[in-house]
Amino acid sequence: MKSDKKTGLSINEGGQLYTVGLLVVYFLQLLIFFAVPKGIIGVADFPLSSWLVLFLNQTAFIACVFFIMRVKNVAFLKTVRVAKPLNWKQILLIIPLAVFSIAAFLPLAQGFVKFVSLLGYNYSNSFPNAEYFPLFLLIVFMLGVLPAMGEEMFIRGAVMSGLKQRSYVFAVLCSALLFSLMHGNALQTVHQFALGIVLALICIMSGSYWASVLLHFLNNLISLVVTVYIPQLNGLDLGGPYNFLLGVASFAVGTAALIFLLILFYKASGGKPIRLRHAATAEENISAATADTANTECADGAKKIADATNDFFAVDVASSLTAHTSAKKDTAATTTAQKSAVAKGTDVTDGTKTDTDTNEESVIGLKIRLKASFKKINTALAQMDGNPPEKANTGASVPASLILGFMVAGLLWLVNFISGFFLK
């Protein structure tokens, strides 16, 4: 029996899920803050309240996904793509993707931290005591496994399925920004946004929830290993301009490696060569040519009838069709001339360059190029998608629920950022 459940949330439902999830998580944090005394220390010399927050945050994200999908009659397995496994090539490629993601994005994150520190921002990080290896395994589970599963199900699995209905470029960038803001930590903003783009791309390419989960987990694991066992790397200081040069080199090499690895990952996911032109374009050209030919033939036929019968109505028809065909050709010629003029920066009327319209033409030309680039990237991502949305609406406006989610996340981020200037 075929299920009547739909696959994927709408963009409005994705916004509702994000807003509800954030409010539930922060409500639980406030509840723990007032209900659990701060002086109670839990495992690994870490406050009990912090352990509870780490656990409840991720379980709340997962619970919200189940709840919203049940209410909206959405198929969970098909939407989140839990049932689709990864092949061995994808798994092997995700390992260097995690390494080079850190190499590319860490200099940007460190630069942002230094910038806000110069402005007077203070920060302090508390971390569990991982003196014994079993404690380190517990930390890996709480700070590595749970966030990877909960946050990926929440953002890439559920919310992004709705964002894709508007466009793929919008889905990738918007999900990365939502992912960055929901952490509420100013220090993580840059790294989480950049990482969110990579997570969204491999999730789209593979069509599997587990691709982004594995990359997210490895990113967390590498950070934990460095923090616990190689803390010298966090405070590495070569002195003088060498820190800057090292950062630039790390970003350049890391970014180049990421692009190369993403191409390999797309191929390993069974991706076909990307065509940046829709097949419909050729059909539309044929249709337009056929219409022009039909108009011309009708006009010729009407002229023959007019000559044979001396019918004034036939004369009017022939004149109208001839004028329509001529006007259509003139419009096409004018449009072509205008586009050429915009590209060359010249005036359509006399072919000479004008001083007053140069800036306007440059802006128009830039808009045309940006729009064309946007369409090409969106087409490429659509062809990569292993789990495309059932319905697409590229002209859809951003719903109020998503705007509200941005406002809530942005406000919480801003409160955290401002509070950093008053900490001692």
Q: Among 19-28, 103-112, 290-299, 355-364, whose mean pLDDT is lowest?
A: 290-299
144-167: average pLDDT: 95
Per-residue pLDDT for 352 more than 60?
no
Alpha-carbon distance of 255 to 263, in angstroms, equals: 13
Confidence band for 275, pLDDT divided at 50, 70 and 90: low
- Rounded Cα distance between 146 and 120, Å, is 33
Q: Is the dihedral of CA 177, 179, 182, 187 positive or negative?
A: negative
Residue 54: pLDDT band with limits 50, 70, 90:
very high
Considering only residues 222 and 285, tell me which one the structure prediction assigns the higher pLDDT: 222
Which range is least confidently modeled, 111-125, 214-228, 246-260, 397-411? 111-125
pLDDT number for residue 231: 80
- pLDDT band, very low/low/confident/very high, at 310 (cuts 50, 70, 90): very low
Residue 144 clears pLDDT 90, i.e. is over it: yes
CB 349 within 8 A of CB 359: no
If one compares 388 and 117, the residue with the highest pLDDT of the two is: 117
pLDDT of residue 241: 78
pLDDT in tens, 61-101: 999 999 999 999 999 998 999 988 999 999 999 999 999 99
Q: Residue 312: its pLDDT value, please? A: 43
Looking at residues 36-62, what average pLDDT do you find?
A: 90
Q: Which helix (H) or strand (E) holds 373?
A: helix 358-384
HEC string of 52-121?
Answer: HHHHHHHHHHHHHHHHHHHHCCECHHHHHCCCCCCCHHHHHHHHHHHHHHHHHHHHHHHHHHHHHHHCCC
**Per-residue model confidence (pLDDT) at position 274:** 66
pLDDT at 356: 59
Q: How many CB atoms lie within 10 A of CB 130?
A: 20
- Which residue, among 151, 118, 123, 198, has the nearest Cα to 21 in the 3D structure? 151
Average pLDDT over residues 27-39: 90
| Cβ–Cβ < 8 Å for 33, 423 | no
> Within 166-241, where are the H helices?
168-182, 189-206, 209-229
CA distances from 291 to 148, 286, 296, 303, 327 (A): 55, 9, 9, 18, 14
Can you give the residue ranges of every domain in the chain?
A: 11-269+393-419, 288-374
Encoded tokens for 391: 């319905």
Residue 313's pLDDT band (cuts 50, 70, 90): very low
Mean predicted confidence (pLDDT) in 45-68:
94
Higher pLDDT, 255 or 292: 255
Q: Closest Cα to residue 318, out of 305, 296, 302?
A: 302
Contacts of 133 (CB under 8 A, 6+ apart): none
202, 262 in Cβ contact below 8 A? yes
Q: What is the pLDDT of residue 311?
A: 45
Whether the per-residue pLDDT at 213 is higher than 90: the answer is: yes
341 token code pair: 């003029």
Counted residue by residue, the chain has a size of 424
Please state, in angstroms and as integers, the Cα–Cα distance from residue 192 to each residue in 199, 200, 225, following that order: 10, 12, 18
Query: Could you tell me the CA-to-CA distances from 51 to 46, 135, 138, 146, 221 in Å, in that order?
Result: 7, 13, 11, 12, 18
Looking at residue 47, the DSSP 8-state letter turns out to be B
Q: What is the pLDDT of residue 278?
A: 47
Residue 309 pLDDT exceeds 50: no
Q: Which of 25, 108, 95 is nearest to 63 (CA)?
A: 25
The SS3 call for residue 41 is: strand
pLDDT at 187: 83
